[in-house]
Amino acid sequence: MKINKYQDISEIERESKKDYIDRHSAFVLCDSKATVGEKFKVRVRVGDQYKHPDDFDHYIQWIQLWDGERFLAETHFTAGAMGNEPTNVEVDFYIIPKKKLKLTANAYCTKHGLWQSEEVIVEVG
């Protein structure tokens, strides 16, 4: 399966391409430091400046959170879960870290496939 990755949309001229890339890309949002053994919140949002559709044949079906090659968590959505309105799908994951994290998120669009976030490093102490 092809994995699509985020590109800096400020460097892209065509508005339609900016829209396409941004609304499918996953973004990992969290603090850059965590404490060993304490709950740590990681938010994953799909899309930043552009909203993704929530149609019966075109929606974000699932979001995964990874630490390097270690699978941490996953959530699923059904068509219409976002009220059949375009939105930036978000989910909060809570993990308990033991060591430095290299977080990435994957999001799956039923029409445009798999999208992977940029890696986010979290220092754990």
- Predicted structure pTM score: 0.91
- The span from the CA of 60 to the CA of 3, in Å, is 15
Residue 8: per-residue pLDDT: 78
Q: Is the separation of the CB atoms in 68 and 102 below 8 Å?
A: yes
Q: Is the separation of the CB atoms in 98 and 124 below 8 Å?
A: yes
Mean pLDDT of the chain: 94
Residue 47: per-residue pLDDT: 95
In this model, does residue 13 exceed pLDDT 80? no
Across 84-100, average pLDDT: 97
The yes/no answer on whether domain 3-124 falls in CATH 2.60.40.730 is: yes
Q: Where are the domains of the chain?
A: 3-124
* 80 — pLDDT class (breaks 50, 70, 90): very high
* Helix (H/G/I), strand (E/B), else coil: 20: helix
- The span from the CA of 26 to the CA of 6, in Å, is 8
